[in-house]
Amino acid sequence: MLTNTEKRKVINSGYSCLDELIKITNCSNYNQFKNIIITNLKDNYAFVYDEKEGFFKTTTKNEVLNDLIGSRTSDYIHDTK
């Protein structure tokens, strides 16, 4: 989904690569990635859109981050093959 320029920007961000990935996917025209909502940075909850159910479900931030990192890592591995 990301252009090669965007991928390079994420990789070159070093320790800030997750922040850069979130900026690119959530603050641009990639509407398909706008399925996670964090309403309060102080609690442990996030909302993830469930396409099957048609609404947002509550989950933990840790679970969301693990799923996000796992998905993007998998995407990267498939892109490099």
Could you tell me the residue ranges of all domains in the chain? 1-33, 35-81
Distance, CA of 37 to CA of 45 (rounded, Å): 9
Please give the pLDDT value at position 78. 56
- E-strand stretches of 1-81: 36-37, 45-50, 55-60
Please tell me whether the overall predicted TM-score, pTM, comes out greater than 0.75 for this model: no
Question: What pLDDT does residue 9 have?
Answer: 93
- What is the pLDDT tens value at each position of the chain, 81 positions in all? 888 999 999 999 999 998 898 888 877 787 777 788 888 889 999 999 988 999 999 999 999 888 878 876 766 555 555
